[in-house]
Chain A
């Protein structure tokens, strides 16, 4: 099967049931996509498939055949996507582990909805757990990125 990852065509002939997350992390060494729960519960592994935010730990390889996957490494060329900039301006991260997934969820939301309401932001981000508890800054950063987007 073929899959596009960060604009690059790849071919894959392994287990079609393997979660996309392990393909990205173990085979392509794209480790910005984090392993947090393996069950679609925490959002640390969030990537975009055809522009939409999905949990790569519960998305298997056959689901992305002939689709386009974007990881945090491919979100922007220089790390200056409006969401990434807003994250830094708000000093969001503590340990940082969940933040790639948070950023990918936020970028996915803003790609679909340039002017989300507070409730829409909370709903879009509710699948991403931050055990350090950076939520008030995450919320502020998404709001500020929406203004700048």
Chain B
């Protein structure tokens, strides 16, 4: 069907755009044009437009057609294991009636002006982009239909796209997407208001869970490329000796000894940045060599001595004692309803408990790594970053370039969990490439580097006081939370949880208690604090959901029934009028995503039912339950534990109910929930980062242990609450984690009668 003329158009359009476009596949890029975002078609509002770069849905940006029929779809979010690299293009493909077997996926470079927001964190990829990607696919479909109508000289309304071709209804003739590529690529993007979305009953892929992740075969063959795997011709390798204490300075080092190691090329000092340093490198001394091994040996030979600076006083034991003392005193009021003091004074019974969670670290299986080269005043980056847009800006800044002169190629991420939102390691590679005159340099972080120099999950101490009246109703809840803030990276240390952190499952509590006061106490950050999958939801859920179970035990009530009573009747809980500053709702509009206790109750009831709550259990077994709304998703988990007479705990079964609105890929939702149980069990049972004289005391997987196969959570059952396309999609990557630890600890109590209030459990049961 192709004629010479259309082929010429194909070639021209293709060449013009290949030069600047993302597509390197030889495909035909639809002529680029900028179409401002228009939310007229969105069924509900999200916070996507308020993010840096906002929303882009133009198919000229995301979709390219090849005359052979291959449809190439750009995926603009980073892939770290959630499956969004596959799921978002799948949404486009479904809406545009593309045949998935003829779809190729390519990764966008970091460019938020072009693609919209790329900051892959906060469990936002599906939540913010299901609607724009449907719009994108619908526009592409309409353009293909219009191209066919023009080719045939018939009315658009007689043409319909179906499974990779457009069919002319009256005659039954058809044109394949490859045959329409040239004509469709010349069309302007239609007005959003003119687009029609598919009826959900017509979805081929969305919501079905049959599409496998696009990298599956490559992963099983060793062909999937992560930043640690990048090879660039002429590339050198670097490792960095960083200050063991944050803000420490290099005192002395033996450059000559390092240079004597065969293969070592250069030793470079990297400056440190005072706090708040955002994501600037920690500083230190880098060794650049012909191989990773030579660089590692060279670093050992450096024998750096350090001036530790002000944070050398950071000791986890004394810090915990300080946090405890702070939590026992009145703090800053963050949300206040009724009169807690009066209610506690008049209570028939007061119950008071404290909960502690230490620092944690992400340990993604791929330690951070990045390659940077600089040529002709332009930098090219290959990196495993959750934040391609931010990385582009930060690399530009550290090199004194314009962002337009920095290209960030996003590799697969071998796990992220929040660590790879911070591009300190990429900035190191940029500094070192510059020091080498632009030579490509790969910075490799070892596991020890990763554990010693992270942005740590914050330590938390909470003090909760509940008052019961003579009828055993909870009439007062006073909750004091003390935790150094991750905002210390961005501003002079705020010394207490920010609105953002309080919004992570504390200040938005749905508890139906007439006198409620949430407070924060001061805690100064003495290390780098950072996001860790689900962030402050972990300590907040742990304290709240443990305390509820403690009260149930105190009253001899069933923990599930008592939890439902604390949640109260189905209603919208709106704390916006009773908070002191603002209610941070994960950056999304309240009207789309309010706190809806009907949904909280539903996941509790579903998890309990599926788990067989109340069933007869073998000796030494126990069931625990907990619920948390996080990232606008409702998750309840029932954990079954088995504890032997030596205090060894296993987890034979987990039942998790999740209500995340409309689900794009249920198969990947299940994988996230299974993984969240494993990570939740790791942090509840094993994980702890401790500081002594400012230094992290753990160094590798022997002393920072994470769960191994067979150590529990091998039978995780995921129960997805049914939803329709009109139910706003919400987060999936993170929300499985927060309820796990309290459900697990509540189960341990049910099995043993022993209440654990300090995580990790470690050997507390056997001691």
Contact = CB atoms under 8 A, between A and B. Distances in A.
A27 B291 contact: yes
Contacts of B223: 32, 73
A112 interface: no
A23 to B, nearest CB: 8
Given A37-B701, A135-B714, A72 B221 contact: yes
B685 to A, nearest CB: 13
Contacts of A51: none
Contact of A31 (B225, B671, B702, B707): B225
A41 B702 contact: yes
B82 interface: yes
A113 interface: no
Contacts of B228: 31, 34-35
Nearest to B220: A84
Interface residues of B, number: 63
B116 interface: no
Nearest to A19: B293
A125 interface: yes
A132 interface: yes
Interface in A97-145: 97-100, 103, 122, 125-139
Nearest to A142: B709
A25 interface: yes
Given A26-B291, A88-B220, A97 B366 contact: yes
Interface string B666-688: 01000110111111000000000
Nearest to B362: A131
A36 B412 CA distance: 15
Contact of B222 (A30, A42, A88, A135): A30
**Best-surrounded residue of A19, A22, A127 (most CB of chain B within 10 A):** A22
B260 to A, nearest CB: 14
Contact of A131 (B217, B706, B710): B706
B293 A136 contact: no
A142 to B, nearest CB: 9
Contacts of A41: 447, 700-702
Interface stretch (B163-171, B208-216, B498-506, B617-625): B208-216
A96 B293 contact: no
Contacts of B229: 25, 31, 34
B715 interface: yes
Contacts of A26: 237, 291-293
Contacts of B707: 133, 135
Nearest to B451: A37
B706 A129 contact: yes
Contacts of A29: 231
A128 B709 contact: yes
Contacts of A99: 219-220
Given A33-B222, A41-B700, A94-B81, A132 B292 contact: no
B447 A136 contact: no
Interface string B408-419: 000011111100
B226 interface: yes
Nearest to A89: B212
**Best-surrounded residue of A31, A127, A134, A138 (most CB of chain B within 10 A):** A31
B291 A126 contact: no
A97 B447 CA distance: 14
B531 to A, nearest CB: 16
Interface in B642-697: 667, 671-672, 674-679
A71 interface: yes
B676 to A, nearest CB: 7
Interface in A58-95: 71-73, 79, 84, 87-88, 91, 93-95
B743 to A, nearest CB: 16
B716 interface: yes
Given A91-B667, A125-B709, A126-B708, A132 B675 contact: yes
A137 B414 contact: no
Given A19-B293, A129-B701, A32 B222 contact: yes
A99 B226 CA distance: 13
B126 to A, nearest CB: 15
Contacts of A31: 222, 225, 228-229, 231
B284 interface: no
B116 to A, nearest CB: 23
A95 B715 contact: no
Contacts of A127: 708
A122 B81 contact: no
B77 to A, nearest CB: 14
Given A18-B293, A135-B713, A129 B413 contact: no
A138 B293 CA distance: 31
Contact of A88 (B212, B367, B678, B706): B212
B363 A32 contact: no
A122 B710 contact: yes
Contacts of A22: 291-293
Interface in B508-566: none
Which 10 residue pairs spanning A and B have beta carbons closest together? A32-B222, A133-B678, A97-B414, A95-B81, A94-B81, A72-B222, A133-B675, A31-B229, A96-B219, A122-B710
Given A127-B708, A131-B362, 8 more contacts: A22-B292, A34-B366, A84-B220, A95-B79, A132-B81, A133-B675, A135-B707, A139-B709
Interface of B: 79-83, 212-213, 215-217, 219-226, 228-229, 231, 237, 262, 291-293, 362-367, 412-417, 444, 446-448, 667, 671-672, 674-679, 700-702, 706-710, 713-716
